[in-house]
Amino acid sequence: MDDHWNWSSELRIPSDTSVTSEAIEPLLERLQSAAWNPRDVFGVHLAVEEALVNAIKHGNREDLSKSVHVAFRTNQECVQIEIADEGPGFDPGTVPDPTDADHIDQPNGRGIMLMRSFMSRVEFNDLGNRVLLEKCRSE
C-alpha cells in the first residue's frame, strides 16, 4: 500500500509548539512545488498545525521528555500525514461541538473540527494518540 507514495518524510519533534512551523515547511514546499492550489495548501497547513499542537499540548502535555512522531507522504493527487504522541490518548467523541450555543464563545476546542473540515479523511487510532490525515486535490 505504501509504495504508491512518491515522496515521504519522517521526523520526531520535541513537545514544543514553537517548532511546528519548521516541521511543516518541507511538506508545504512539496505541495507548492507540485502546484497544489493555495486553498488546499492552506487547509493542509491548518490541519497539520492543529494536529501537531494537539499532540504537543494535550497529548504530551508539553513534556519535553516526550516526542511527537510525524510522517508525511505524497503522490501526484493526495497527501497523507500521520501524527503520533506519547500521551495516554483521548476519545475524540467526547470533545464538545464548538459550534453549540454553550461553547461558541469559549476559547479552545476547534482544532479537530478544522481538521475534519479541511481534510478528506481524519482517523484516530483506538487509543486516540495517533491521527491519520489525508487530503486529495480539489481539482
Interaction site with other proteins (CB under 8 A): 17-18, 20-21, 38-39, 42-43, 45-46, 49-50, 53, 98-99, 104-108, 110-111, 113-114, 117
In which residue are the cell numbers 493527487 written? 77
Residue 139 CB, nearest approach to other proteins (Å): 16
Residue 9 CB, nearest approach to other proteins (Å): 20
Residue 17 CB, nearest approach to other proteins (Å): 4
In which residue are the cell numbers 493526495 written? 78
Residue 96 CB, nearest approach to other proteins (Å): 13
Toward other proteins, which CB reaches closer, 34 or 46? Answer: 46
Toward other proteins, which CB reaches closer, 9 or 108? Answer: 108
Toward other proteins, which CB reaches closer, 6 or 117? Answer: 117
Toward other proteins, which CB reaches closer, 10 or 22? Answer: 22
DSSP result, the chain:
-GGG-SEEEEEEEES-GGGHHHHHHHHHHHHHHTT--HHHHHHHHHHHHHHHHIIIIIISTT-TTSEEEEEEEE-SSEEEEEEE-SS----GGGS--TTSTTTTTSSS--HHHHHHHHSSEEEE-SSSSEEEEEEE---
For strands 130-136 and 78-84, give the pairing.
antiparallel
Residue 133 CB, nearest approach to other proteins (Å): 15
Toward other proteins, which CB reaches closer, 14 or 75? Answer: 14
